[in-house]
Copies of this chain bind each other. A is one copy, B any other.
Amino acid sequence: MTQAVNLISALAGVVGTTNIITNDDEMLPFLVDWRGRYRGRAQIVIRPRTTEEVAAVVRLCAERRVPIVPQGGNTGMCGGATPDDSGYAVVVNLGRMNRIRGLDLDTNAITVDAGCVLADVQRAASEADRLFPMGLGSEGTCQIGGNISTNSGGTAVLRYGNMRELVLGLEAVLPDGRIWDGLRALRKDNTGYDLKQLFIGAEGTLGLVTGAVLKLFPKPTAMATALVAVHSVEGALRLLSALRGTCGERISAFEIMSDSEMEIVLRQIPGTIKPIDATAPFYVFLDLADSAGDLDLAGTLERALANALDGGLISDAVIASSSSQAAAIWRLRHSVSEANKKEGVSVSHDTSVPISRIPEFVRRVSSEMASQYPNARRIFVGHIGDGNIHFVALFPKSLADDLDTFEKAALSINRLVHDITASLDGSISAEHGIGQSNRKLLARYTDPLELKMMAAIKRLFDPLNIMNPGKVMPDVLDGEISLET
């Protein structure tokens, strides 16, 4: 107890008492993930405002072997920012560290605190007539440090890459409290190992990201949006291939949704309408964008889709004739989580496979699910242009009344989907990360040598195992110290 009091007073000396939360009720929002799937405890939630404060906090914790849980907007999908239930952890919430440090137009780069909300960074870029392309459902809440630590994805990956590709430089506090200043704004730099890559996607287990230099892009000046009905997943891929030939690099989003999902969205979300008559097994949502002058992209898209219709690639299509029509189309896509939550209980997955193997993935999952779980609705939705498909098995809400049975079914469906994913050389976590949720899966589906390398790197950077312990690394690796056999 004395030790705890000592730590708290030492931490208060760093950030001031007003930026420390010790009261259980006030801590609560920081101890539960946004979906309410994980709930932990902590001795304290602390809200530093500068890199130096973060460093001092980490140093004080490290001296006492107190575990640190870095936290951004707390919008993660895998419980990566929620402490365990020991009550011993210090949650370091970066929400107050939200300064745009600078924007350099010629360099096309913006330097930000890790606690900046993604939408604020998008806005700062836009006000400077630039684009920061990362876009997520949670963009009004999630923070850049979390985007970096989870290597976030979203709908713009097809054109601009994952968060990893958008980071030029990084600043991080190491698990012993030392500050690494890697805030470079360089497009090319081959001076030794590229250390920032280690912290990107590490979910705060190797250090605490405090700042970043991010790439900016020309702002699109022309846009076109379409909703397209296709006969099959193969048809969607053929459409993508055809569009690459006629619309080239302008393809900015290419998402797919099965009719099973479309039906649920239309029923559950008030005010949504499907702007085409045809019913088809799958729908494609697509955007073209160009930053050069005022090209007629709607015209380009119309010709391309007319050709696709003539060639039998698609069965129907509509092109938005205004930005509000475009928004209405995209609203269908963005309402998926909300609609499914209203409709039933779901078992969902975050699969990626090589793009050419998507049809086989969909076929095999559909067929296995139809025979093993005929009462589940089979939903496919996601970023088909990146090979990232979310399969959702949707059950009536009543099924969750018997939680044990439901959880057993969920585990067995997970196994079925992940085994198919693995057999297709895919990933069981394309964009959501590992956090707490997927640690066992990581152990199961990852090459043991690769796990050893990861564990050895974790040990090297965090020998006390205080930086977000219990996240990413599977428990089975706790004994691994070196890379040796």
Expressed in whole angstroms, the Cα–Cα distance for A178 and B218 within the complex equals 45
Interface flag for A49 (CB, 8 Å): no
**Are A431 and B109 closer than 8 Å at their CB atoms?**
no
Interface flag for A165 (CB, 8 Å): yes
**Are B107 and A387 closer than 8 Å at their CB atoms?**
yes
Interface string of A445-485 (1 = CB under 8 A from B): 11101110110110011010000000011000000001111
Interface flag for A84 (CB, 8 Å): no
Chain A contact residues: over half helix, strand or loop, or mixed? loop
**Are A246 and B483 closer than 8 Å at their CB atoms?**
no
Interface flag for A211 (CB, 8 Å): no
Expressed in whole angstroms, the Cα–Cα distance for A275 and B445 within the complex equals 59
**Are A291 and B244 closer than 8 Å at their CB atoms?**
yes
**Are A457 and B460 closer than 8 Å at their CB atoms?**
yes
- Smallest beta-carbon distance A46→chain B, Å: 24
Interface flag for A225 (CB, 8 Å): no
Interface flag for A386 (CB, 8 Å): yes
Interface flag for A430 (CB, 8 Å): yes
With CB as the reference atom, state the residue of chain B lying closest to A243: B292
Expressed in whole angstroms, the Cα–Cα distance for A425 and B174 within the complex equals 22
- Residues of chain B with a CB closer than 8 A to A290's CB: 248-249
The interface on chain A, measured as residues whose beta carbon lies within 8 A of the other chain's beta carbons, has a size of 94
**Are B176 and A485 closer than 8 Å at their CB atoms?**
yes
With CB as the reference atom, state the residue of chain B lying closest to A193: B454
- Residues of chain B with a CB closer than 8 A to A355's CB: 104, 106-108, 187
**Are B249 and A249 closer than 8 Å at their CB atoms?**
yes
Asked whether A186 and B483 contact (CB < 8 A) given A165-B165, A195-B454, A472-B192, the answer is: no
Contact pick for A190, options B176, B430, B456, B485, CB 8 Å: B430
Interface flag for A405 (CB, 8 Å): no
Asked whether A188 and B428 contact (CB < 8 A) given A248-B290, A449-B178, the answer is: no
Interface flag for A191 (CB, 8 Å): yes
Interface string of A262-296 (1 = CB under 8 A from B): 00000000000000000000000000001111000
Besides A157-B188, A186-B426, 16 new A-B residue pairs in contact (Cβ under 8 A), listed by A number: A104-B356, A105-B356, A106-B241, A107-B355, A108-B355, A161-B165, A185-B425, A188-B431, A190-B201, A192-B442, A195-B450, A198-B198, A218-B244, A249-B249, A249-B292, A461-B483
19 contacts between A and B (CB under 8 A): A105-B356, A106-B355, A107-B355, A150-B190, A151-B194, A174-B449, A188-B431, A189-B352, A190-B432, A191-B445, A192-B472, A194-B200, A218-B245, A244-B291, A246-B292, A249-B291, A292-B300, A461-B483, A463-B482
Residues of A at the B interface (CB closer than 8 Å) are 104-109, 150-151, 153, 157, 161-162, 164-165, 174, 176, 178, 180-182, 184-195, 197-198, 200-202, 206, 218, 237, 241, 244-250, 290-293, 300, 352-357, 383, 386-388, 425-434, 438, 442, 445-447, 449-451, 453-454, 456-457, 460-461, 463, 472-473, 482-485
